[in-house]
Amino acid sequence: VQLVESGGGLVQAGGSLRLSCATSGGVFSNYGIGWFRQAPGKEREFVAAISWPSGTNTRYADFVKGRFTISRDNAKNTVQLQMDSLKPGEKAVYHCAGKYKNFPTRPGEAEYWGQGTQVTVSS
């Protein structure tokens, strides 16, 4: 399974970005998808995840609840992460990750990773 992230960029504090994770090489609806981020000098951390096959269940890290929304489109084999009210400390490389018939909420649980997309938030 291959995952490719897009949608990162530079945004001012308080602004929004919408990240997308495109997948190929597997039956997309069999995979739960998570978003993680890694800031320079820090460990990779969980951001949000969505269940298979239809995304009925979602989970969020406490620090993004109410600001970020994860969703999936099985017809397009994509998962989106809508990020609102971004903060300067959220500058990081954001990665999507997949797990067969489960959803990863820890980096060690993921089976497949994308290369990541850079998000920079200016103050």
The CA distance from 103 to 62, in Å, is: 17
79 pLDDT band (50/70/90 cuts)? very high
Bond into 53 cis (ω within 30): yes
Mean pLDDT of the chain: 96
Amino acid identity at 10: L
Whether pLDDT at 26 is above 90: no
Distances (CA, A) of 113 to 14, 46, 104: 28, 13, 11
